[in-house]
Amino acid sequence: MSFKTGSTNTSATIYFKKTSATGEAYCDDAGLVLDSTVYQSIYTSDGFDSGLSNWATAAGTPSLSSAQTHSGSNSYLIDQDQDAILQSFDTSYNKIVSIWFYDTATATNMQNGAVVDDSVNTRGIFVNTPTSTTKYSYRVGGTYAASNVTRTTGWHEFKFDYSSGTKLDMYIDGVLIASPTGVTNFNRIQIGDLWAGSTNTAYFDDITISDPPIFDGFESGLANWTTTNGTASTSTAQAHSGSNSYLVNEDFDSIQRIFGTSYNKIATVWFYDNASSTNMVTAAFVDDGISTRGIEVYTGISTTKYAYRVGGTHTATNITRTTGWHEFKWDYTSGTKVDMYIDGVLIASPTGLTNFNKIELGDKWVGNTNTVYFDDINIQ
């Protein structure tokens, strides 16, 4: 027996009835199984290069195209009057959803868009020409409103940010267009044309679902960090952004942050170097606390080049030290290695460690005192 019900209904009462007054009846193994064509586990990205198998049809006969793609080989093509697909998840999420939409701005009779909501209270971003032929629109409940973002032919990012847990922030191409309350998480993504009366050609691609970035610019001090050496402090003398940075001004001065989970993500750390110093050992580590992966100034290896550390081995790079801010980056997204960068230049790709749960910054070694800074630690 199969039946369909609303996505917010997660239980059912099952009755067994014996219709004969004589004989025996047996019942066993009663339960509920989610219909895989309606509910899916969460897919963190979909560029349609593997087809539409992650999606259920909401209207029409969905198809793919290679005529326009944001990345990869395929996109979801809208070329019918009423043509839409959806994903309904078996749990609700406080995450960020990004959807890329290719608009043909010359079309003045179009109702096409993306909905990311709780399957009850609509939250969507659209081209809705009955509302405006020149501006993108958004929908909250049953109400459409025109945004201030002008339609142009080409790719546009529609973003739904539920990470606050109190509201939804809706963006078009990075511009905040609305922050409605009332819905604090989502369990549905629906894209396409659900309305009769218009046939246009448009495309969707690169749907991603992500956690909000973890960011610390030390504007709230060192509350998120544990001091591992010295007396940690912040400073306003140098800041990559905002007002504060973590100041390293002692011999033996370091902090760390340990996370409750391991990440296959990208971590960036900004470091302010004093390149005139020729006696410095200061580093940033992004690893599992066991297998060291660090980017550093280690003047015992080179006084003029930045260095990196893998395990117990220090190696000089080809990147010349200069006074000022520099970006150190660790990219663990491959799941097989970490790509390490300084100012966008790849310096190493060691294997053996595929994720991280700790960031440590500062001077962990005795014998040198300098004044340098760290700021804007970001994980995404």
Which pLDDT does position 273 carry in this prediction? 98
Last residue of a domain, one of 186, 210, 234: 210
Output the CA–CA distances (angstroms, integers) from residue 40 to 81, 87, 192, in the order listed: 26, 7, 19
Last residue of a domain, one of 210, 237, 268: 210
Which pLDDT does position 35 carry in this prediction? 46
Which CATH number belongs to the domain containing residue 303 in this structure?
2.60.120.200
Which pLDDT does position 1 carry in this prediction? 55
Is the domain of 182 the same as that of 206? yes
pLDDT, one tens digit per residue, over 247-304 is 999 999 999 999 888 999 999 999 999 999 999 999 999 999 999 999 999 999 999 9
Predicted confidence band of residue 210 (pLDDT cuts 50, 70, 90): confident
CA distance 303 to 321: 8
Contact 234, 246 (CB under 8 A): yes
Contact 177, 137 (CB under 8 A): no
Is the domain of 269 the same as that of 128? no
Is the domain of 197 the same as that of 248? no
Q: Which residues of 248-264 are buried (b: 16+ CB within 10 A; e: fewer)?
A: bbbebbbbbbeeeeebe
Residue with tokens 């905002």: 242
Give residue 74's Cα distance to chain centre. Answer: 22
Mean pLDDT over 24-29 rounds to: 70
Is the domain of 254 the same as that of 269? yes
Radius of gyration of the chain (CA): 27
Judge whether residue 36 has pLDDT over 60.
Answer: no
Judge whether residue 69 has pLDDT over 70.
Answer: yes
Which pLDDT does position 9 carry in this prediction? 52
Is the domain of 204 the same as that of 228? no
Closest CA to 45 of 102, 84, 87, 91: 87
Is the domain of 222 the same as that of 357? yes
Q: Domain containing 314: what range?
A: 214-379
CB count, 10 Å around CB of 6?
A: 9
Is the domain of 49 the same as that of 123? yes
Q: Pseudo-torsion of CA 106, 108, 113, 119, nearest 10°?
A: 180
Is the domain of 151 the same as that of 218? no
Is the domain of 54 the same as that of 140? yes
Which pLDDT does position 212 carry in this prediction? 80
Which pLDDT does position 366 carry in this prediction? 92
Contact 98, 210 (CB under 8 A): yes
In a domain, 6, yes or no: no
In a domain, 12, yes or no: no
Closest CA to 229 of 208, 261, 256: 256
In a domain, 174, yes or no: yes
Which pLDDT does position 38 carry in this prediction? 40
Count of residues for the chain? 380
Contact 234, 68 (CB under 8 A): no
Which pLDDT does position 42 carry in this prediction? 57
Give residue 128's Cα distance to chain centre. Answer: 27
Which pLDDT does position 14 carry in this prediction? 72
Contact 117, 123 (CB under 8 A): yes
In a domain, 91, yes or no: yes
pLDDT, one tens digit per residue, over 341-359 is 999 999 999 999 999 999 9
pLDDT, one tens digit per residue, over 306-341 is 999 999 999 999 999 999 999 999 999 999 999 999
Longest distance between any two alpha carbons in the chain, whole Å: 97
Which pLDDT does position 8 carry in this prediction? 46
Mean pLDDT over 132-149 rounds to: 97
Mean pLDDT over 91-100 rounds to: 93
Judge whether residue 2 has pLDDT over 70.
Answer: no
In a domain, 104, yes or no: yes
Comparing 21-30, 78-87, 115-124, 181-190, which segment has the lowest mean pLDDT?
21-30
Mean pLDDT of the chain: 91
Which pLDDT does position 218 carry in this prediction? 97
In a domain, 237, yes or no: yes
The count of domains in the chain is: 2
In a domain, 15, yes or no: no
Q: What is the β-pairing status of strands 202-210 and 123-128?
A: unpaired
Is the domain of 205 the same as that of 221? no
Output the CA–CA distances (angstroms, integers) from residue 94 to 9, 181, 183, in the order listed: 19, 13, 10
Closest CA to 203 of 154, 238, 161, 244: 154
CA distance 48 to 204: 9
Give the DSSP H/E element, type plus range, for residue 228.
strand 226-229
CA distance 288 to 315: 20
Closest CA to 199 of 109, 309, 308, 319: 109
Which pLDDT does position 251 carry in this prediction? 94
Last residue of a domain, one of 162, 182, 210: 210
In a domain, 33, yes or no: no
Structural tokens at position 323: 């006074």
Q: Pseudo-torsion of CA 122, 185, 110, 49, nearest 10°?
A: -140
pLDDT, one tens digit per residue, over 43-54 is 677 899 999 998
Is the domain of 342 the same as that of 253? yes
Closest CA to 161 of 143, 175, 142, 145: 175
pLDDT, one tens digit per residue, over 143-173 is 999 999 999 999 999 999 998 889 999 999 9
Contact 70, 204 (CB under 8 A): no
Residue with tokens 């096409």: 112
135 bridge partner residues:
150
Is the domain of 220 the same as that of 197? no
Judge whether residue 24 has pLDDT over 90.
Answer: no
